[in-house]
Amino acid sequence: MKNKRSASRAPRAPNRSNRQSSPSLRSRFRKITRALLANLWNGAKIIFFKRVEAKSWAVSAEQLIVMALLAIGLGVILNRTFYSGTVVFNWNEIRGLWFDLPIFLLVGWLSARLAVTRVNPLLLPVVLFSAMLITDLVLTAAIHVGTRLLPPDKISWLWIGVYYGAFVWLIAIAAVFILRAAQLSTRRVLLTMTPLLFMGALGFLLPPQPIWYQSSDKYADLNTPKADSPVAEEMLYLQPRLAEQTIKALLPNKKGSAHLYFVGFAPYSYEDVFLKESEVIRSLMDERFGTHGRSLLLVNNNKTLRRYPLATVTNLRESLQHIGAVIDTQNDVVVVYLTSHGSKKHRLSNDYWPLQLEELDPTLLKQLLDEAKIKWRVVIVSACYAGGFIEPLRGPTTLVMTASDATHTSFGCGAESDFTYFAKALFDEQLRQTYSFETAFQRAVPIIRAREKEKREEFSNPQIAMGEAIRARLEQIERRLAAAAKISAAPKLREAKN
């Protein structure tokens, strides 16, 4: 009893668990990090089909969870890099982000069951996540580089190639690794790959939803109304009336005096640059070239459905037909400005989902101008490969200016741009200083070349074709505009002197 009492009264050793817990957690974190880095290094090698022994991988349930979480987080972050401005996270896609984990686990289980040698069922899931993390980084970088180097009409094919190429690459990595590590026959490898093939087929038939959405106006500014849709019932009735009112509002001209008419056509809806520059150019034409009351814009953009008629071939035809009926065909000049993405087939992109719209090419444009009996024409095309419009439209009473030749792309478009390089140099800079389209073009070309050189872009090589007859007609209009400008400026000069 005495011994028990003395033992009970003996001082207790201090509790060291709290002191030891922190070093233990740090040690565990370092261990997990070292294993993760080792797996990522192996993943960087295996994506190029280099042999990596099974014992080189750090395989555990803990490591698999860490890599799955890292893959999901990295995917969300990398996906965000493709959007500018305000975006909204798609919470409904959270479930889809976890879809890879059970598929990879099933593949790992099959490889372990079918393997000749003993294989950890978690080995292949760890290998696949390691490879996927590295390939996501590589493919994201490839997309960003490709969107800068490729012409706009090829970018959609880049996305398609990367999307489906990623599946093929991952399946090939898994197949090669299983052949080496598990010593399976080709038949058993194909059986093991079945879940991955199923995942690829499902991705082809039911592409996943985007993780991010470009914010609509209601998210960006609660005081701004939500953007309209071209297929909303209200728009289906409003747009035809708007087109008719806009076209009929064009003023007729008195015979005997030469005036300019202006038509802007911006059919690509997904980048505001085409809308922005068209509005500025129209204002410039109205203020400096006397087209006020004689100008109109046709635009595809959700923001302007209540303001401008749609940029469709039908509306362009109706606009030109009406202009042809109200102008003095012997004197008046019609300026048609086209701005969009262009293709090597020399068609202007007319994308406005979900509408299916006809694309404009030079042959069709010439047909529309001929049908409208418009004799004097200035056609300006700001698009890639726009030089393809030159020959079909060339004529003694026609001036054609293009942002590039028939084999080169032009530059400056983008969601954040206000002007393409061509429109900026020609209209916003040079035509504010001169009334001569030809002089403005000649001055604009070296400016465009310098900007493209600064951005390390290949020279777009803008083109011009001036008919002799229209040169004389435009010179007459230039002299009249210059004289009118001097008269209007005279009172201001006298006031400044006083």
Specify the pLDDT at position 23. 58
Specify the pLDDT at position 333. 96
Specify the pLDDT at position 268. 93
**Of the ranges 85-94, 140-149, 370-379, which one carries the lowest mean pLDDT score?**
85-94
Specify the pLDDT at position 146. 85
Q: HEC profile for the chain?
A: CHHHHHHHHCCCCCCCHHHHHHHHHHHHHHHHHHHHHHHHHHHHHHCCCCCCCHHHCCCCHHHHHHHHHHHHHHHHHHHHCCCCCCEEECHHHHHHHCCHHHHHHHHHHHHHHHCCCCCCCCHHHHHHHHHHHHHHHHHHHHHHHHHHHCCHHHHHHHHHHHHHHHHHHHHHHHHHHHHHHCCCCHHHHHHHCHHHHHHHHHHHHCCCCCCEEECCHHHHCCCCCCCCCCCCHHHHHHHHHHHHHHHHCCCCCCCCCCCEEEEEEECCCCCCHHHHHHHHHHHHHHHHCCCCCCEEEEECCHHHCCCCCCCCHHHHHHHHHHHHHHCCCCCCEEEEEEECCECCCCCECCCECCECCCCECHHHHHHHHHHCCCCEEEEEEECCCHHHHHHHHCCCCEEEEECCCCCCCCCCCCCCCCCCHHHHHHHHHHCCCCCCHHHHHHHHHHHHHHHHHHCCCCCCCCEEEECHHHHHHHHHHHHHHHHHHHHHHHHHHHHHHC
pTM, to two decimals: 0.60
**Most confident of the ranges 29-33, 120-124, 319-323:** 319-323
Specify the pLDDT at position 494. 58
For residues 467 and 399, is the Cβ–Cβ distance under 8 A? yes
Cis? peptide before 354, omega within 30° of 0: yes
What are the boundaries of each domain within the chain? 25-218, 233-490
Average confidence (pLDDT) over 125-147: 90
Question: What are the pLDDT digits (tens) for 11-53?
Answer: 444 454 444 445 588 888 889 999 999 999 999 999 999 999 8
Specify the pLDDT at position 495. 64
Specify the pLDDT at position 492. 59
Average confidence (pLDDT) over 280-288: 96
- Residue 212 or residue 137, greater confidence: 137
- Domain 233-490 in this protein, CATH class: alpha beta
Specify the pLDDT at position 274. 95
**Of the ranges 37-41, 251-255, 273-277, which one carries the lowest mean pLDDT score?**
251-255
Specify the pLDDT at position 327. 94
Specify the pLDDT at position 490. 59
- Assigned token pair, 174: 């898994």
Cα–Cα distance for residue pair 64/66, rounded to 1 Å: 5
For residues 385 and 406, is the Cβ–Cβ distance under 8 A? yes
What percent of the chain is predicted at pLDDT more than 90? Answer: 53
Question: What are the pLDDT digits (tens) for 452-489?
Answer: 999 889 999 999 999 999 999 999 999 999 988 888 76
Specify the pLDDT at position 214. 59
Specify the pLDDT at position 369. 97
Q: How confident is the model at residue 10 (pLDDT cuts 50, 70, 90)?
A: very low
pLDDT at 376 over 70: yes
Q: How confident is the model at residue 231 (pLDDT cuts 50, 70, 90)?
A: confident
- Residue 29 or residue 279, greater confidence: 279
Average confidence (pLDDT) over 265-279: 94
Q: How confident is the model at residue 301 (pLDDT cuts 50, 70, 90)?
A: very high
Average confidence (pLDDT) over 114-136: 88
**Of the ranges 146-160, 182-196, 292-306, which one carries the lowest mean pLDDT score?**
146-160
Average confidence (pLDDT) over 248-266: 88
Question: What are the pLDDT digits (tens) for 402-434?
Answer: 999 999 999 988 777 899 999 999 999 999 999
Average confidence (pLDDT) over 189-207: 80
What percent of the chain is predicted at pLDDT more than 70? Answer: 88
- Residue 270 or residue 360, greater confidence: 360
